[in-house]
Amino acid sequence: LDMGFLQESCDETVGHEFWEAGVYLSPNVLTARQYARPHVVFSDGLYHRVMLEVSYDRACLKRKRKKGGDQLVLPSSAVCITGVFFQLNAPPCLGEERLDDWDPELEIVPVGRHTPEATYLLRDAPRWGDDCVVIFNTDNAKGAAGDKA
């Protein structure tokens, strides 16, 4: 997100899983949700998922298939992030891959940036129906909370 583009899956030696090099998208929200790994982010036992909303250039479509849900493969240059969706308290289904904690050392860090520090929840876990506040801190942020960066 910080760099403004999505990295293509293209290198199995670094752990990418793909059948065609490119950025993988799905117009089917259920398929996208399956690929959004449930993740305990705040050491509170609650799993969250994140999905990106994108626009893409249909003329640049490399591949399309129905197997595994609707999947589209495009070059990074043909995809633009238009939104971020957070699914709070979205636990894994039986047999689904998951991440039980967050390790900042596993983050992909853009050149010239530093590894983010872990964030911990300082209050009780939210209950169903509670309001949620998402705080996004960047390395360029200045001043106290509420100040303009």
- Is the pLDDT at 144 greater than 50? The verdict is no
How many CB atoms lie under 10 A from the CB of residue 92?
A: 15
Segment among 25-29, 106-110, 130-134 with least mean pLDDT: 130-134
| pLDDT at residue 16, as a whole number | 62
Segment among 4-8, 96-100, 101-105, 135-139 with least mean pLDDT: 135-139
Amino acid at 117: E
| pLDDT at residue 15, as a whole number | 64
d(CA 85, CA 4): 16
